[in-house]
Amino acid sequence: MPANRNALIRYKTIDNCLRNRQRKWTLEMLMDKVSDALYEYEGIDKGISRRTIQGDIQMMRSDKLGYNAPIIIVEKKYYIYEDAE
């Protein structure tokens, strides 16, 4: 499976999680959701590493892919989208 498709699944899953403002998302929670999505869409059951999710979040924050996602860390633990004012 091309890594690009897996990356797209990861980005979309992280985005969907962070759009749900009813929850505070830890790195472990994001890892679980991304692992579930990769299994659901591609049958990949080996899980996902912390470093991969951290790298994905950094990539989403950057303008390299056009995301420029306003992802912030709250209380050194929770990932959320910064409030749009």
For residue 78, the cross-strand partners are: 74
Mean pLDDT along residues 56-62: 96
Taking the C-alpha atoms of residue 55 and residue 49, their distance in angstroms, rounded to an integer, is: 10
pLDDT digits (tens, 9 = 90+) for 8-43: 999 999 999 999 999 999 999 999 999 999 999 999
Q: What angle do CA 75, 77, 83 make, to 5 degrees?
A: 65
Q: Which domains does the chain have, with CATH numbers?
A: 3-81 (1.10.10)
Query: In a 3-state reduction of DSSP, which class is residue 52?
Result: helix
What is the predicted pLDDT for the residue at 85?
Answer: 43
Long-range contacts of 41-50 (CB under 8 A, 24+ apart): 41/9, 42/1, 42/5, 42/6, 42/9, 44/1, 44/6, 48/10
What is the predicted pLDDT for the residue at 75?
Answer: 95
Taking the C-alpha atoms of residue 81 and residue 4, their distance in angstroms, rounded to an integer, is: 24
Confidence at 65, pLDDT banded by 50, 70, 90: confident
